[in-house]
Amino acid sequence: MISDEQPTLVVTCKLSPVYRRVVVETISDRARIIFLDELEQAAARRAALSSATVLLAHNTAKELRADETSLIGEVRLVQFLAAGLDFIPLDQLPPEVPVACNAGAQAESMAEHGLAMALAAAKHLPMEQAKMTRNEFNQSGATRMMAESTCGIFGLGGTGLALARLLKCLGARVHGINRRGESSVPVDWVGKPEALDSMLAASDMVFLTAPLTRETYGIIGERELKLMKEDAIFVNLARGELVNEEALYLHLRDHGSFVACIDAWWVEPVRHGRFEMKFPFLDLPNVIASPHNSAAGGNGRVNGIKRAALNCVRALTGEKPLHLISPDERAWHIGKAEPAAT
């Protein structure tokens, strides 16, 4: 049972020494910390989980044994390290336990990565390098400027807001969409999801930074791609499943001036245990690819761990945690995926 006198943080996932130190330093003397991976005996694990005030986890479905989930029914919070929880069956957790994602965990790193991909596409860097390997020196070929572009961001949350700040610094016009239709960062236009079509049509560059949910699954398909400009730059930093894979491949194949910058793929090692493509995107000259490493810049992952630990502190000290997941969102995960209505 939980002790009010001595709150306990149980870390269910295995952390590197660096990440452990971040958790310990952030929590400080506010609670005792138990790392579950250090406990081998079932009785010790059960005792730790039964005493937990807050859990810090990566994927409870893999970290908790079948008979352990029932022990955490009284915790104040299950805090996950990931910003997107679509791959975790949250409906297996006790329904009365608050659950929080780590929204904006590596926002700054991801925003820089998305900007770098978009600039590489706008300046035709990989395309011109490929031509130079064929002894083509296209010095007169026109490139594009961010300062003359309208950039649409679907998902004006932590990463989207960080990206908006960078884009505004370069003089871009920024349009954004989130569920609130509001922005804490000065942008040129902000709307709600029902205005997606208008934003797609107006944007020279489109950035996806929204979480994968029942509403966003498959939200970009053939129709939405055709709404975009012929020479649009499309950057996906979110989840591959926001986009219809076949529709994007065919659009890229048939529209050579349209460029896709893909960081988030449909089948990836962390969520699926492997990397797999149904279509040969990497054979197309108008694709710029990265292995979903946009969060890996500098101290990005360390910052993410610290943000998750700080939200644990809120729960440990009696404050309301941030980024709580609603019951409806908890009932949905990628195993129950259905394309969004378009």
Beginning with the edge strand found earlier in the chain, give each strand of the sheet holding 8-11 in spatial order: 32-35, 8-11, 54-57, 77-80, 99-100
58 in catalytic set: no
DSSP label of 243: B
The letter for the amino acid at 257 is S
DSSP label of 297: S
Please pick, among 251, 292, 301, 330, the residue that the annotation labels catalytic: 292
Establish how many alpha carbons lie within 13 A of residue 157's alpha carbon, considering only the half-sphere containing its beta carbon.
Answer: 20
Residues found in the chain: 342
**Contact between 287 and 281 (Cβ < 8 Å):** yes
Joined tokens for residue 86? 């679509």
Element housing 189 (H / E): strand 189-191
255 in catalytic set: no
Helices (H), 203-325: 222-227, 245-254, 269-272, 300-316
Compute the distance between CA of residue 101 and CA of residue 333 in angstroms, rounded to an integer: 13
Joined tokens for residue 145? 């400027």
Question: Which of 161, 162, 227 is CA-nearest to residue 190?
Answer: 161
Compute the distance between CA of residue 192 and CA of residue 329 in angstroms, rounded to an integer: 18
Please pick, among 239, 301, 323, 330, the residue that the annotation labels catalytic: 239
Q: Is the dihedral of CA 140, 146, 147, 149 positive or negative?
A: positive
Compute the distance between CA of residue 309 and CA of residue 305 in angstroms, rounded to an integer: 6
271 in catalytic set: no
Beta strands in 27-143 (DSSP E): 32-35, 54-57, 77-80, 99-100
Contacts of 24 (CB under 8 A, 6+ apart): 33
Please pick, among 128, 215, 245, 268, the residue that the annotation labels catalytic: 268
- For the annotated catalytic residues, the residue numbers are 239, 268, 292
